[in-house]
C-alpha cells in the first residue's frame, strides 16, 4: 500500500514538473532571435516563430530587417508580453500590404487564445495582424506603420488601452472573421479605452455585435470611429476628424439596431454622429461639426430611431 502511494506521488510530481517546463515563460531578445531555436522550427533570424502554447516575454528591443516579420505565431494559447520594449521594422513601406507585419498569425489556421501586450510596434506594414478567436491586444503603442496599427479578423476579441497613431491607413481595425470562421461582418468584440490619433484613413473600425466604449479618436483623415450593426457605442469622444466623428453603420445583410449613448463629437468635418436607423440614441452631444451634414444625422428609416436627451436633438 505504501509503495503504491509513493508511486502515485511520483507520477503527480513528474506531471507537475513536465507541465511547468512546457509552459515556463520564454525570453526573447535580439541575440536569441538571431540565433533561432526559441521554439521548435524557429530558424535563425526573423521572424521569431512561436510554434507551441506558452508565455513569451521580450527582454530587449527587436530590430527587424527588411523583408521579414517580427514574430509569427503558429500555435494557440500564446501570450506575448513586450515588457515595455519595441519591435521595430525597417521603415514604412508603400503601397500598403507589400511588406511583412510586426506580429502576425492565423493566415493558415485561425488562432485561438492569443494575447499581445505592453509595448510598441512600429515601421511594419500592419503593426499587429491576427486572424483569431478570443484574442486580446492591450497596452500596445502601434505607430508609424505603413498600413494599419492593429488589424484583427477576429471573433470575441478584446482590444483595450492601446494607442494607434500616425499609421498610413487605419489606427485599429477589428473586423469579423468573414470567410475564416463565423458570420461575415460580425466581430462580437470588446473595444475599450483606446486612443486613435492622426491616422491616414479611419481611426477605429469595428465589426458588428460589439461593445465600443471609452475610446478617443482625433485628427484622423477619415472617420473617427466606425462601428457596424447591433453594437453598443458608449462614452466615446471623436474630435477634429476629416469625415464623420462617429458612424454607426450596417452592411446590407445586417439590420442596424445599435445603441449609441453618452458620446461626444466636436469639430469633425463630416457629421458629428451619423447613424443608420433603426437605432437607439441617448444622451449624446455633438457640437461644431460639419454643416452640412450637421451634428447628429439620421439616415434610413428615421422614424425607427428612438432619441432621448441628445444635444442637439436630431
Residue-wise pLDDT for 223-246, tens only, equals 999 999 899 999 999 999 999 999
Per-residue DSSP letter, 194: -
Contact between residue 176 and residue 155 where contact means Cβ atoms under 8 Å apart: yes
* % residues pLDDT > 70 (the chain): 88
Burial 74-108 (b: 16+ CB within 10 A, else e): bbbebbbbbeebbbbbeebbeebeebbbbbbbbee
The burial class, CB within 10 Å (0-12 / 13-18 / 19+), for 115 is: middle
Residues 178-200 have a mean pLDDT of: 78
20 has a pLDDT exceeding 80: no
Nearest-angstrom CA–CA distance, 92 and 104: 17
138 has a pLDDT exceeding 70: yes
Out of 6-15, 66-75, 185-194, the most confident range is 66-75
Residues 11-18 have a mean pLDDT of: 36
In this structure, what are the phi and psi dihedrals at residue 241, rounded to the nearest 5 degrees? -90, 160
DSSP 231-262: -EEES-EEES-SS-SEEE---TTS---EEEES
> Hey, what domains does the chain have and what are their CATH numbers?
71-86+98-308 (2.160.20.10)
pTM, rounded to two decimals: 0.90
Mean predicted lDDT score pLDDT of the chain: 89
Amino acid at each position: 500500500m505504501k509503495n503504491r502511494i509513493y508511486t502515485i506521488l511520483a507520477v503527480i510530481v513528474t506531471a507537475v514538473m513536465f507541465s511547468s517546463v512546457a509552459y515556463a515563460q520564454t525570453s526573447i531578445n535580439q541575440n536569441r532571435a538571431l540565433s533561432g531555436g526559441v521554439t521548435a522550427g524557429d530558424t535563425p533570424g526573423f521572424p521569431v516563430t512561436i510554434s507551441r502554447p506558452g508565455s513569451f516575454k521580450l527582454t530587449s528591443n527587436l530590430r527587424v530587417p527588411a523583408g521579414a516579420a517580427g514574430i509569427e505565431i503558429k500555435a494557440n494559447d500564446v501570450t506575448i508580453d513586450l515588457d515595455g520594449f519595441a519591435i521595430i521594422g525597417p521603415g514604412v513601406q508603400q503601397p500598403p500590404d507589400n511588406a511583412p507585419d510586426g506580429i502576425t498569425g492565423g493566415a493558415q489556421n485561425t488562432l485561438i487564445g492569443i494575447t499581445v501586450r505592453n509595448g510598441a510596434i512600429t515601421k511594419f506594414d500592419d503593426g499587429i495582424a491576427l486572424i483569431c478567436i478570443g484574442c486580446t491586444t492591450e497596452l500596445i503603442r502601434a505607430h508609424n506603420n505603413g498600413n494599419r496599427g492593429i488589424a484583427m479578423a477576429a471573433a470575441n476579441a478584446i482590444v483595450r488601452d492601446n494607442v494607434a497613431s500616425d499609421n498610413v491607413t487605419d489606427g485599429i481595425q477589428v473586423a469579423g472573421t468573414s470567410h475564416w470562421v463565423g458570420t461575415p461582418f460580425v466581430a462580437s468584440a470588446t473595444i475599450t479605452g483606446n486612443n486613435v490619433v492622426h491616422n491616414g484613413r479611419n481611426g477605429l473600425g469595428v465589426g458588428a455585435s460589439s461593445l465600443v466604449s471609452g475610446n478617443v479618436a482625433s485628427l484622423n483623415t477619415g472617420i473617427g470611429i466606425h462601428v457596424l450593426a447591433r453594437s453598443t457605442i458608449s462614452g466615446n469622444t471623436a474630435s477634429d476628424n476629416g469625415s464623420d466623428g462617429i458612424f454607426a453603420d450596417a452592411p446590407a445583410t445586417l439590420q442596424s439596431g445599435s445603441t449609441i449613448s453618452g458620446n461626444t463629437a466636436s469639430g469633425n468635418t463630416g457629421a458629428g454622429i451619423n447613424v443608420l436607423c433603426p437605432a437607439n440614441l441617448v444622451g449624446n452631444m455633438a457640437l461644431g461639426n460639419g454643416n452640412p451634414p450637421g451634428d447628429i444625422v439620421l439616415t434610413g428609416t428615421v422614424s425607427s430611431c428612438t432619441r432621448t436627451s441628445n444635444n442637439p436633438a436630431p
